[in-house]
Structure 1
Amino acid sequence: MLPRLYRTEADIRKRQINTLMIFNDNVVEVIEGEEYEISFNSGGNQLCLKVILGKDFPKEKPTLKVLPVVIHPWVNGHGEVTSAPGLLNFTIHSDLGRVVQAVMREFQRTPPPLALNHSNSVVSPISDNEKRASPINYQSFPSIKSFSPPTHISQSNFTYQSSTFPELALLSLEELQLLNENDDRQDEFINEIPQIKEQNKLLDDLILQVEELAG
């Protein structure tokens, strides 16, 4: 895998956009390098997910909007996806394509009702069942943040975490606390996990193949 630190911001942005094409079908480029649309079916409704990349992307998270507006815990009254796990945890090391793919899969797995079907352009309150809708993970490997230790750490707290990330068992309590409090250290830790390294290498190889075919 090529060291991320030696890539220019333009290279990193291009790589992110390439992952959007790799992990999703029917991607339409509206504005080159800035805006994309993906149409998909959800419970018989044809939805469109707009992907908007700001000038500081990927240092800042992308903007995702679903049209028509739907009622879902992840979506606000303007159709903007705000609470998807992939967006909440988005960093420069995330994969845009995986984040977008997870959002569409959630809508396909649990089709949300259209807001227009409930009240004239006014989004109805979210029901208890919808609040309890369980979001899917946006990565093949769970975020380290979902396994971070509480303020008061005990060894028993890490029985489940260590089975998911065996490398955690090798850290002292002080190192675990530092890992819990430092996002950059979490990224470094995840990128050093053998499975993640292999996954990133396969992804980089696939991106190179796409770039060669596109060139």
Structure 2
Amino acid sequence: MAHDSLLIRSMNRSKGLVPRGGANGYPAPDPYRGPSQDPFHRRKQINTLRIFNENVSEIRPDVQYHVDFRAVNGQAFQLRVFLPPGFPSQRPDMALSPPGSHPWLDQSGQVVGAPGLLNYSVLSDLGRVVQAIKRELEKNPPKVSTSGPESKTSPEQPLGAVSRVSRPTPVISVIPGLSDLSPEELTELSESDIALRHFCQTMPNPDLDALNLTLEQTRERIQTLAHDNQNLGQSLQDQKDRISEAIQPWSKVRDELSAALPECAASRQKVNLPTLVERLAQASVQSEEDSEAMAEKFQAGDMSVETFMKEFVASRSAYHLRRTKLDKLRTYCRSAKN
């Protein structure tokens, strides 16, 4: 039944159906205020005070304790802890001596702004709460007024009497909705993973909502960029296709040129100077041999005078012409080498 009540209450609170305070807009009363029914638990909490803190003095057994410490500036302080009759269900009262100016203290030195004390419950450890307050006052010492009295609260005066007047209005827990739960619901919350999971899911969390919004916006930007990249990819492919079409005619010309290069090389090999000199020398020798063969035929009577004169003169003329060109080419080749 307690589990069902907790789930229904958590769902209603997430929908805004359960108010977060008492009548007339004041905060709801603390469900843990009341007389203590567990002396063993009270003694256990007092033991944690000695475990987590040094220089603990017992002024009144089970009621009043003093914790002496020094701040970083060397100032000596005394944190006075008063345990009311309803402790540990009822939160303790604390005051600093000598009093000073600090966000956690009022003018009389009463501790009124410590988060651990404001959110105190039966699940809290007295020793850890006092330790956190002492460490804060050690690191950030209060500014002590030298002109005023040391403190409005004497060591023998119960701090509860002062706290009933100077205690501010109880504040809501730092965990939204936690102060609205009854003791049975808190017990169920601490023992049931299902109830705890449901409470966490329905608990408002502005930071998580902001992260989810940022995540959603980032996802939308990524999708937009992916769509733009897809469009750009298609445009790039179209440009590649156009470039390929433009390259095809040039590729054809390149292939034809590559095929013509061997022929050009062969032709160039035929008309280079060494080849011309060699071929011209062979032609000159051939002309000389032809003219000598004609002379032998004429002497043997195998050729008439008219034919001999005509062919012999032509052969010797070709020989002398080729010989002259051969000499000039050889001279040019020697000068080119030098």
TM range (shorter): 0.5 to 0.7
Computed over aligned residues only, the root mean square deviation of the Cα atoms, in angstroms, reads 2.8
Contact kept? 1:35, 1:53, Cα under 8 Å: yes
Q: Which residue of 2 aligns with 1:33?
A: 62
**TM-score, reference length from structure 1:** 0.56
Instruction: Give the whole-Å Cα distance in 1 for the aligned partners of 2:192 and 2:44.
Output: 20
Higher helix share: 2
Question: Please, which of 44, 64, 89 is the counterpart of residue 119 of structure 2?
Answer: 89
Instruction: Give the whole-Å Cα distance in 1 for the aligned partners of 2:142 and 2:66.
Output: 19
Q: How big is the shift at 1:12?
A: 0.7
Instruction: Give the whole-Å Cα distance in 2 for the aligned partners of 1:38 and 1:60.
Output: 20
Contact kept? 2:119, 2:174, Cα under 8 Å: no
Name structure 2 gaps, 5 residues minimum: 1-35, 152-172, 194-338
Q: Secondary structure in 1 aligned to 2:143?
A: coil
Structure-to-structure mapping, 1:9-48, within 5 angstroms: 9-42=38-71, 43-48=73-78
Q: Secondary structure in 2 aligned to 1:146?
A: coil
Contact kept? 1:33, 1:53, Cα under 8 Å: yes
Name structure 1 gaps, 5 residues minimum: 1-6, 124-144, 150-178, 194-215
Question: Please, which of 174, 179, 184 is the counterpart of residue 146 of structure 1?
Answer: 174
Q: Secondary structure in 1 aligned to 2:124?
A: coil
Instruction: Give the whole-Å Cα distance in 1 for the aligned partners of 2:107 and 2:40.
Output: 35
Q: 1:8 to 1:55 in 2, by over 3 A?
A: closer
Q: How big is the shift at 1:192?
A: 6.4
Q: 1:180 to 1:54 in 2, by over 3 A?
A: closer
Q: Which residue of 2 aligns with 1:74?
A: 104
1:112 aligns with 2:111: no
Instruction: Give the whole-Å Cα distance in 1 for the aligned partners of 2:188 and 2:104.
Output: 28
Q: 1:55 to 1:122 in 2, by over 3 A?
A: closer
Q: How big is the shift at 1:146?
A: 3.3
Q: How big is the shift at 1:8?
A: 5.7
Q: 1:34 to 1:190 in 2, by over 3 A?
A: same
Contact kept? 1:26, 1:38, Cα under 8 Å: yes
1:12-44 CA distance string (max 9 Å, x none): 101110110110011111111111111100121
Q: 1:32 to 1:147 in 2, by over 3 A?
A: closer
Amino acid at match of 1:189: L
Instruction: Give the whole-Å Cα distance in 2 for the aligned partners of 1:39 and 1:122.
Output: 15
Q: Secondary structure in 2 aligned to 1:106?
A: helix
Q: Which residue of 1 aligns with 2:84?
A: 54
Q: How big is the shift at 1:75?
A: 0.7
Q: How big is the shift at 1:57?
A: 1.0
**TM-score, reference length from structure 2:** 0.36
Q: 1:33 to 1:109 in 2, by over 3 A?
A: same
Instruction: Give the whole-Å Cα distance in 1 for the aligned partners of 2:128 and 2:192.
Output: 20
Q: 1:110 to 1:186 in 2, by over 3 A?
A: farther
Instruction: Give the whole-Å Cα distance in 2 for the aligned partners of 1:38 and 1:106.
Output: 14
Q: Secondary structure in 2 aligned to 1:19?
A: helix
- More relative contact order, 1 or 2 (CA 8 Å, 6+ apart): 1
Q: 1:78 to 1:91 in 2, by over 3 A?
A: same
Q: Which residue of 1 aligns with 2:181?
A: 182
Amino acid at match of 1:10: P
Q: How big is the shift at 1:49?
A: 0.5
Contact kept? 2:56, 2:66, Cα under 8 Å: yes
Q: 1:14 to 1:148 in 2, by over 3 A?
A: same
Higher strand share: 1
Q: How big is the shift at 1:181?
A: 3.9
Displaced runs of 4 or more, over 6 A = none
Contact kept? 1:180, 1:186, Cα under 8 Å: no
